[in-house]
Amino acid sequence: VVTADDVVAAFVSAGLEADGARPMTRDDYGAAPFVGEGVRFLIPSLGEDIGGRIIVVPDAADRERLATYYRDLGKQSAMFFSHVFEVGDVVVQINGRLADDVAAQYEAALHAIGW
The per-residue pLDDT for range 16-38, each reduced to its tens digit, is 999 999 999 999 999 999 999 99
Within 8 A by CB and 6+ apart from 13, the residues are 109
Predicted confidence at residue 47, as pLDDT, reads 93
Q: CA–CA separation, 53 vs 50, rounded Å? A: 10
Q: How do residues 48-94 score in pLDDT, each as one tens digit?
A: 999 999 999 999 999 999 999 999 999 999 989 999 999 999 999 99
Identify whether the C-beta of residue 103 lies closer than 8 Å to the C-beta of residue 83: yes
Question: Could you tell me the CA-to-CA distances from 59 to 1, 70, 80 in Å, in that order?
Answer: 13, 17, 25
Q: Is the pLDDT of residue 115 over 90?
A: no
Q: Tell me what percent of the chain is helix, strand and coil, each rounded to the nearest 5.
A: 45, 25, 30
Task: Indicate whether 114 pLDDT > 80.
Answer: no
Q: What is the pTM of this model?
A: 0.95
pLDDT for position 19? 97
Contact 29/40 with Cβ under 8 angstroms? no
pLDDT of residue 54: 98
- At 43 the three-state DSSP class reads coil
